[in-house]
Structures are given as structure tokens and as C-alpha cells.
Amino acid sequence: MIFLHGLESSSRGAKASFLRGLYPDMVIPDFKGSLAERMASLRGILAGQQDIILIGSSFGGLMATIFAMDNKDAVARIVLLAPALNFSEFSRYTIQQINAPTWMIIGREDSVTPAEKVVPVARRIFTDLRYDEVDDDHLLARTFRKLDWKTMLSEEEK
């Protein structure tokens, strides 16, 4: 299980700290640099692993999506928190469908990754998508601690 933080966050951010408390064995690396540099780091961290559970927040959600498109057989499930699927960096990638069970959370007040731009892209990519809108903004600061993490990360849940 790995948490991928957003563009301006780190392994010490609020979501990372919260998830580390719930799942002490979760891998929570720091990423810096361009998308290509971050993806190279991620590929190195996850090289050879199977049954990977990806949790990505914002830019980390974009990274999780790209990794899953390139490593379909290695990914068991995905949780996306306000994923940056509307960012221009994603337009360079060929859209490929992902069959891993995916749970996506977006805030109704999110102006960075608004649902009307992100959801149509997600529906084209994820064949097993569960999508929830919550009363929050892009950071999901009012919501992420209240999410049912056990259910979202459970292999039995679909």
C-alpha cells in the first residue's frame, strides 16, 4: 500500500500523517520535480511488486492513474482523492482502461480538479469506478479523516 501526495505536499502532510497513523506499514515517500521525475521515482519504489494498492491525492492521483495504466497487472485497487486528471501533463499519455477497483472522492467545491472535468475522464479510464462527491474543496480537509478507509481499501469491497 502506497500513498502518493499532491504537488505541493509531502510525506509529512495532513493526509500522509493521518494514513500513517491508520496504516503504519504504508509506504509514504516524498516526491519532487516534474511529473516524469516523480514517475521515475515511483516506478523505482514499486519495481517488481504485485497486488499494489495505490492511494493518490491530487497530483498523486494523476501519478497513481499513470502508474496503473502502465502496470495493470500489478495494481490491486486504487483510491483517488481529487485526482488531477484534468491537468495538462496528463494529455501526453494515451488513455488506457484500468480494471482495478477504483474509488474516487471529489469535493463539490473543488475548483482545482472540478468534478465536471475529472469525472468524464475517470469514467473513460476506470472500468470499475465508484465515485463519491463530498461537501468539501480540493484539499478535502473537512472530509478525508471521516472517509471509510477500511471499506475503501478492502479487497472484498467493490
CA distance 33 to 93: 18
pTM for this prediction: 0.95
Q: What is the pLDDT of residues 2-16, one digit of tens each?
A: 999 999 999 999 999
The architecture of the domain spanning 2-152 is 3-Layer(aba) Sandwich (3.40)
Q: Write down the domain spans for the chain.
A: 2-152
CA distance 114 to 18: 24
Q: What is the pLDDT of residues 40-94, one digit of tens each?
A: 999 999 999 999 999 999 999 999 999 999 999 999 999 999 999 999 989 888 8
Helix axes 35-46, 59-70, angle to 10 degrees: 60
